[in-house]
Amino acid sequence: MNGVRRVVTGHNDLGEAIVLSDDKAPFLHTSPGRPGFWSNDIWRTAAFPVPISENEEEPTLGPRRQLPTTNGTVFRINQIPPESGLLDSEAIRREFQNLGNISSSTFKPGSHPMMHQTETIDYVIVLNGEIYMVLDKSEVLLKAGDVAVQRGTNHAWSNRSKEPCVICFVLLDGRFEMTNKS
**Nearest Cα to Cα of residue 95 among 35, 181, 160:** 35
- Note the residue count of the chain: 182
Q: Is the per-residue pLDDT at 115 higher than 90?
A: no
DSSP-assigned states of every residue in 27-80? EEEE-TTSTT-EEEEEEEE-SSSPP--TTPPPTT-SS--SSPPTT-EEEEEEEE
Average pLDDT over residues 43-70: 87
Q: Give CA torsion, residues 132, 176, 49, 55, to 10 deg.
A: -60
Instruction: Reply yes or no on whether the pLDDT at 1 is more than 60.
Output: no
Candidate ranges 52-56, 128-132, 176-180; pick with highest mean pLDDT:
128-132
pTM: 0.87
Exposed, middle or buried, 159 (CB in 10 Å: 0-12/13-18/19+)? buried
Q: How many CA atoms lie within 13 A of 112 on its CB side?
A: 20
Residue 148: strand pairing partners? 124
Residue 142 has pLDDT above 70, yes or no: yes
Given this model, what pLDDT does residue 87 score? 63
For residue 46, the model assigns a pLDDT of: 92
Q: Which residue has the higher pLDDT, 108 or 166?
A: 166
Checking if the pLDDT of 181 tops 60, the result is no
pLDDT at 61: 86
| Of 122 and 87, more confident | 122
Q: Residue 7 forms beta bridges with which residues? A: 22
Average pLDDT, the chain: 87
Answer with the residue of higher pLDDT: 104 or 100. 100
- Rounded mean pLDDT of 132-142? 96
Residue 178: what are its φ and ψ, rounded to 5°?
-125, 160
CATH number belonging to domain 26-173: 2.60.120.10
Per-residue pLDDT, 23? 95
